[in-house]
Every structure is written in structure tokens, then in C-alpha cells.
Structure 1
């Protein structure tokens, strides 16, 4: 097994990297960018080698997604990692999970319908609901002593509304880092089943969990309700392949499949994957498992390193214990800054570009989300600047 060097610092300037180009106005030249959720780790060697071979062939034409090789790579990965057997006929291509959310919201609801999200949560959930003329219905998570839990009473009340058609579940949860237990997920499904509501499960971070923590794919856990569950998966977070625009949407219900095909093929034509994306995904799922295991172990150490430092040097800040994702969620409310003041201090005093908690909706004010999928020397520099911003 190859040992990968995650300490290597890679200069991403000149690569059109979004994290370096899409910065707040007036950002300092030496800003440290740890906001968007892509890694600063080089991709696994088998992925890069497969891409080189494909490029050397000299032709990058139209490429099929529904091939035996591609389906075997996807289904093999999820069976090995989770024991989840997926029928290849129920897997559909999307260039990303966010475009899939937009399409699913459009085909599963009508204008004015309500859709539940559990804030603070990944911003595009609310964006795609509102952007399609639907109503965002918030079921806020409960944060008690740094531990996030679901408010099932409130969720039941929100789902009781006949105008609410379903919910988008973030599992693992972004930004809190919660990996929901079997019991929590079964409770969600039970509430939705009793009211005949659909569930879109965004499981894009499923492969990135702390040691000893287990993610439960919703369709595997609750197959009896599979006709009302859709799962969104992708290799992008797991293997640092976000730029390859490859996601796999699992849709067991034939009626929903027909609606999906009508939306993505007949209406928008979003059915052709990129040639290099397919190549990268097959190589990732088939040959890069050891890279994922080593990456997870390295990120675990980054979390321990950051949490220890913040507890020691910034006693008024609270690190939310992470069970999954590579995103550190820090409660800075103890310092008393308004959201605008906090953002100003991070950018202009700390020279840090982070994801401000307010973008995750109600309950995110006063928090910062930090991407720790980077070399430890970068984490150390972030912590030094974080101290400067809050001091």
C-alpha cells in the first residue's frame, strides 16, 4: 500500500481555483482561504494515472455514464464501505448534488409548497427551494452544550402541514459535523412515512467520518420507505474531485425516475458527463480506497490539533465536536461580536477567508466554518491568524 504525503503544500495559484478567486471585496493579498469545501490534498495516484492515460489516448468525446464499468465502480464502493446494495438501474447522473437538488425540488413539488430543512445547514438547500418558488420551512436543530440534536416535535408539527411536501436531510450534517445515529434517522423516516412525505438525503459527505463513527445510508437503513427516498451521492468530497462534475443520484421510485428523466433529459439536456469525470470516478471508486482511509486519519489529527489549540488559547470559543465532514464548526459568540464585526475581523485582522455562520441560516450567527482538509502547517497558520482575529 502506498503511503500518501498529506503534509505537502501545493500552490494552487494560476489554476482558476474558486477558493482563491471568489473572495470578499477588499481581501488582503496574503489571505488564507479555508472557506469552500474542497481539499488542498493532491488526488490519489490511481486517479491521476487514469486521467493521464485517458488524455494520452487523444480523444475526449461524448462519454456514457450508464456503462457496466461505471455502474460496477459505484455499486462496488457503496457495498464495500456500507454494505449498501444499489440496483444500477436506479442510479442517475447529475453534474453535481446542488443541480440535482434544484431538479428534484422542481419535479417533486409545486410553486408555493413547503420543504423542510434543518438549519443551520448548507446554504444552497434554502437557495434551491426559494429559487424554484417553493417555501423554506425551517426545523432548527437544537444546540445544547455544543451538541446538535434534532427537534422531532417541531419536525412533526412542520410535516403536519398539508402544504409541506417533504424535506431535505443533510447526512452527515453540514456544517455541524453531526453523523446521525440509526435511531435518529429511523425517527425522521417514521415521521415522514406517517404523513406520506418524501425525503431527499444529501449524503455527499458520507465517506468522511471520524474514527469509530459510522454513517448509515438512508436507503439501506429504511428500505421499506424507499419509494419516497432519494439519495444524492458523489465522489467529489471523498476524493477531491469537485471540479469533475460527477454525482450519482439514487432514485428507487419508477414514477420519480420518469420525472427525473423528463427534467434532466427532455427539458434541460443535463445527461452527458465529462469524459475525464467518468474516468476519475471509476479510478477513485475502484483503486483509491487506501487514499481515503489515510486522508480520514490525517483529517482526524487536524481536528484534534485545532480543537486542542482553540481550547487552550481561545477559551471563549467553542469547537463543536465533529463526527463527520472535514469542516470545523466553531462557536465564536462568546467574544460578543456581531456577525458583521466577526466577518470583518476574520478578513482584515486575521487575513482569513472563512465561511461565516450566517450563510447557513438561522442559528449560524456567530459561528465560523473552516475547511481542515489541508496540510497541518496550513492549519497551524490558520490557528495563529484565528487568534489574532479574535484577540
Structure 2
């Protein structure tokens, strides 16, 4: 196995990086937007170099090789025998969610989401004229989140609920749903005729091999009502390639989504995106294993360092994703104050928990896919800022 280096991040100067340019020149660590501070895998960079070397960057089709690369990865990595013909390209997972909402529901229909959750889940429902139904996760005393199945069953019994958007693994709380939990979702949704959109963009960022279970793989009944959204963007740090895929076993649902893609003129893939996806899925697995080990070490370091020096914060290493969900309630700060505290006192840009629809007040999300030096500096800055806050009281 090739040894990859993650300690020395590349330069972000002059590349219009959304993550690093927000507070450019202000000595603020950007640990917010969900991409990594690592170069893309060599297999991706080599594929891009070969494609550019051809000198042709014209219109590109979603080829059979592309679909086979997606399906092959699902089989090797997750044991899911998805068929290449089930794959539909889309420029991004959020775009895919919006396409599915329009293709599979009507204006006025209700759609369920489970906050605290990725903010665009709300917008793709409301911006498309559908009714938003919240099924908040339950947080146990030990900080572990679970689904509120009793409430969900009541909500699905309402005739207007046509769709559930599942975040699996969950962003931001880091849960990787068990097979039993997913079977319960499938059983309830199947009973009430509700489709399931499973956003599985973080599926590969799970630290226990075999722990992640694709929703559509759990049963034939689940596959019949599933529309899986996936992408190599988080896994291989290629979000700028604007590539994602919907994997839809049900032919009727696939036809509806294909028609909506056509209406929106969303089927065109870029030449470089096409090359990057094949390069990632066919040659990036060794790089991913090393990246996961590095990120997990960062997460564990931050959990232990903050646990020692900042008892006001509570944080546990997630089951999946490269994120940390910081419980900052012990600081006693209102949400606006909390955001300013991290930005102005700790000089760190995090994602405010209050933006995750509901249930995130008093929390902040931290991206641990950074160099160890950055993680160490983040822990030092947080500890110093909290010490100053204590002294001021």
C-alpha cells in the first residue's frame, strides 16, 4: 500500500477556495464547510492529467464505464449489488434531492426530515412548494441520537406525507444507522406508501468496516421505495468536480427522475468530472483507508484534548463522517454569542448548530479533516478562549 501524507496541506492561495477564502488574511482557522484539507487521491489527479493530456474537453456522456465504476464501488465497498442501469448522474446531491422532490411529489405534499440535519434538506422541500414535516431525533443523556419512531409513525399516517429524506450517515450528529433501524424505517414507510430518499454522501466515511448499510440493500421492499443519493465528493475531496449519482432500483421511480432531469437539463457531465469519478472509484481505495485512519486520529485527539482542558464542552467521536458535533451548552452562551465567541475569541470558523433546522441550539459543528497541526492549534485556541471566558465571569 502506498503511504500518503496528510500532514502537509496544499496551498489554497489563489484558487477561490470557499473554505479558506471566507476570512482570508484574518488568522482564522476554517473548520466549517465539509471538504478536506488534503489533495485529492493520486488516482484522481492522474486521471485528470491523462484526460487533459488528450486535449479534448468537449461535451461528455455518462458512459457505461462511468456507471460500472459507481456500481462496482458499491459492491466492493458496501456489498450492495447495485446495477449500472440504476445509476443517474446529477451535478450534486442537493440538486438530486430537489429533482427527486419534484419528480416524486406534488405541490402541497408533505416531506419528512429528521433534524438537526444538513440545512438544504429544509430548503429543497420548502423551495419546491412542499410542506415540511419535522421528525426531530431524540438525544439521550449520553449524547447518542436515535430516531423517534413513535412520532414518525404518526406523521407517516398522515395522507399528505409522500417522502422521507433520510440522512445516512447523519450530518451533523455522526450516527451510522444500524440495519435494525433502517428496517424499521422501511417497514413504516412501506406500510404508509411513503418513499425514502437516502442521502448517503458520507457512506464511505465510516470508521468500522462493514458498519454502513445502504438503505436500498436491506430488503426488496426497501429497494422498491428507495432513491439513493451518493457521490465521491466527500469521500475523495472532489466536491469541485460537481458530480453525484442517484441509484434507483425501482424502474417507475427511475423513469420519473429521468424525466425531471431532462426537464431541468441536468444530465450533462463535465469531461473532468467524468474522469475524476472513474479515477476515484477504481483507484482511490488505499488512499481512502489512510485518510480515514488519519481523520479518526484527529477526531480522537480533539475529543481527548477538549475533554481535558474544556469541561464546558461535550463531544464524542462520531460513528461516521469527518465532523464533530460540539455540545457547547455548558458555556452558557446564546447562539449569536456562541458563534461570535468561536470566531472572534477562538479565531475558528465553525458551522453554527442553530443552522441545522432544529435541535442544534447551543451546538457547533467542527470539520476534523485537516492536518494534525491544524487540529492541535484548534484545540489550543478553544482552550485559551474558554479560559479567558471563565476569567471574565
Q: 1:356 aligns with which of 352, 355, 360?
A: 352
Q: Distance in 1 between matches of 2:187 and 2:175?
A: 20
User: Does 2:260 align with 1:263?
Assistant: yes
CA contact (8 A) 1:211 1:300 kept: no
SS at match of 2:180: helix
Partner of 1:113: 109
Which sections of structure 1, spanning at least 5 residues, go unmatched? none
Q: Which residue of 198, 223, 226 corresponds with 1:229?
A: 226
Give the match for residue 299 of structure 1.
295
User: 2:118 corresponds to which residue?
Assistant: 122
Question: What is the RMSD computed on CA atoms of the aligned residues?
Answer: 1.3
* Conserved 8 A contact 1:320-1:331: no
Q: Does 1:196 find its partner at 2:193?
A: yes
1:16 is the counterpart of 2:16: yes
Contact 2:215/2:222 (CA < 8 Å) preserved in 1? no
Q: CA deviation at 1:90?
A: 1.1
Alpha-carbon shift at residue 107 of structure 1 (Å)? 1.5
Structure 2 residue runs without a partner (length 5+): 388-393
Q: CA deviation at 1:135?
A: 1.4
- State the shift of 1:28 in Å: 7.1
Counterpart of 2:391 in structure 1 is none
Hey, what does 1:87 align to over in structure 2? Answer: 83
Equivalent residue in structure 2 for 1:275, among 257, 265, 271: 271
Aligned length: 386
Aligned to 2:148: 151
Q: How much does 1:156 deviate?
A: 0.6
CA drift at 1:180: 0.4
* Residues 108-155 of structure 1, C-alpha deviations (whole Å, 9 max, x = no match): 112222111110000000011011111111111111121111111011
TM-score under structure 1 length normalisation: 0.96
Normalized against structure 2, the TM-score is what? 0.96
User: How far does residue 337 in structure 1 lie from its aligned partner after superposition?
Assistant: 0.4
Counterpart position of 1:322: 318
Structure 2 counterpart SS, 1:310: helix
For 1:1-391, what aligned pairs fall within 5 Å after superposition?
Answer: 1-22=1-22, 29-65=26-62, 67-144=63-140, 145-211=142-208, 214-265=211-262, 267-391=263-387
CA contact (8 A) 1:93 1:249 kept: yes
Kindly indicate whether the alpha-carbon contact (under 8 Å) linking 1:118 and 1:169 is maintained by their aligned counterparts in 2. Answer: yes
